[in-house]
Amino acid sequence: MVLFLFIFVFIIIADFLKNWSPPNFPPGPLSLPLVGNLLSVDRKHPYVYFTNLSDVYGNVCSICLGGFKMVFVSGYKVVKEALATQADNFMDRPYQAMANRVYLGETGLQISKQRRFALSTLRNFGLGKSTMEQSVCEEIRHLTNDSGESPNRAFWICVIFPFSHVTHYLLHLHPHTCIIS
């Protein structure tokens, strides 16, 4: 019994120390040890949970899913700031030890070459220019009109996009099915 109690206390303290947030970290709901907020997220309609989070904690909030802390942004101005204005600050992938062994990590030679190729190709199509931003905004308007939802309401994007490996990779819908080699 004492051993069980010691292991339980050790796991709680280790999880608390692992999930310690700096003072300027975005606010978010309290999470359970080891599982985080996974039990709170509705599996069929997760966007509703995240929309409610943004209503409670603001346009920038954090959540713990499993053992990983994540920061979510919502609202037009905040998303535009993160993806258009400060894109260089948000382009890296989170560290995952197993994934780094599979494809040599985000700083590996293969990924570095692929990233350089993708960025140079996208620059030819207008990446970083306001013309590309305008066409992306226009496509988003068509997307929300086609979805039958109003632009101010959340909707589940999996219904609209066809499932393919490219869609899974780009939208991170099922990252465990797409291993980059």
Query: Does position 29 have pLDDT exceeding 80, yes or no?
Result: yes
**Residue 31 covered by a domain:** yes
For tokens 């991170």, what's the residue? 172
Q: Do the domain assignments include residue 127? A: no
What is the domain range of residue 67? 26-75
DSSP character string of 85-152: ITGGGG-SPPP-HHHHHHH--TTSHHHHHHHHHHHHHHHHTTTTSHHHHHHHHHHHHHHHHHHTS-TT
- Asked if residue 143 belongs to a domain, the reply is no
Q: Does a structural domain hold residue 8? A: no
State the amino acid at position 56 in one-letter form. Answer: V
pLDDT tens track for 112-149: 677 777 777 777 766 666 666 777 777 777 766 765 65
Q: What is the pLDDT of residues 53-88, one digit of tens each?
A: 888 999 998 888 877 788 888 888 888 888 777 766
**3 domain-assigned:** no
Judged against a pLDDT cut of 70, whether residue 164 lies above it is answered with no
As a whole number of angstroms, the distance between CA 130 and CA 99 comes to 34
Nearest 5 degrees, angle CA 33-CA 61-CA 14? Answer: 20
What is this structure's pTM?
Answer: 0.50
Instruction: Please state, rounded to an integer, the average pLDDT across all residues of the chain.
Output: 70
- On whether residue 36 sits in a domain, the answer given is yes
| Residue 160 forms part of a structural domain | no
User: What per-residue confidence (pLDDT) applies to 9?
Assistant: 85
| Number of structural domains the chain divides into | 1
Q: What is the dihedral of CA 34, 157, 129, 87, to 10 degrees?
A: 0
Cβ pair 107, 91 in contact under 8 A: no
Q: Residue 52 is encoded by which pair of tokens?
A: 């409610």
CB atoms within 10 A of CB 57: 17
Q: Is residue 63 part of a domain?
A: yes
Closest Cα partner for 38 from 16, 13, 69?
69
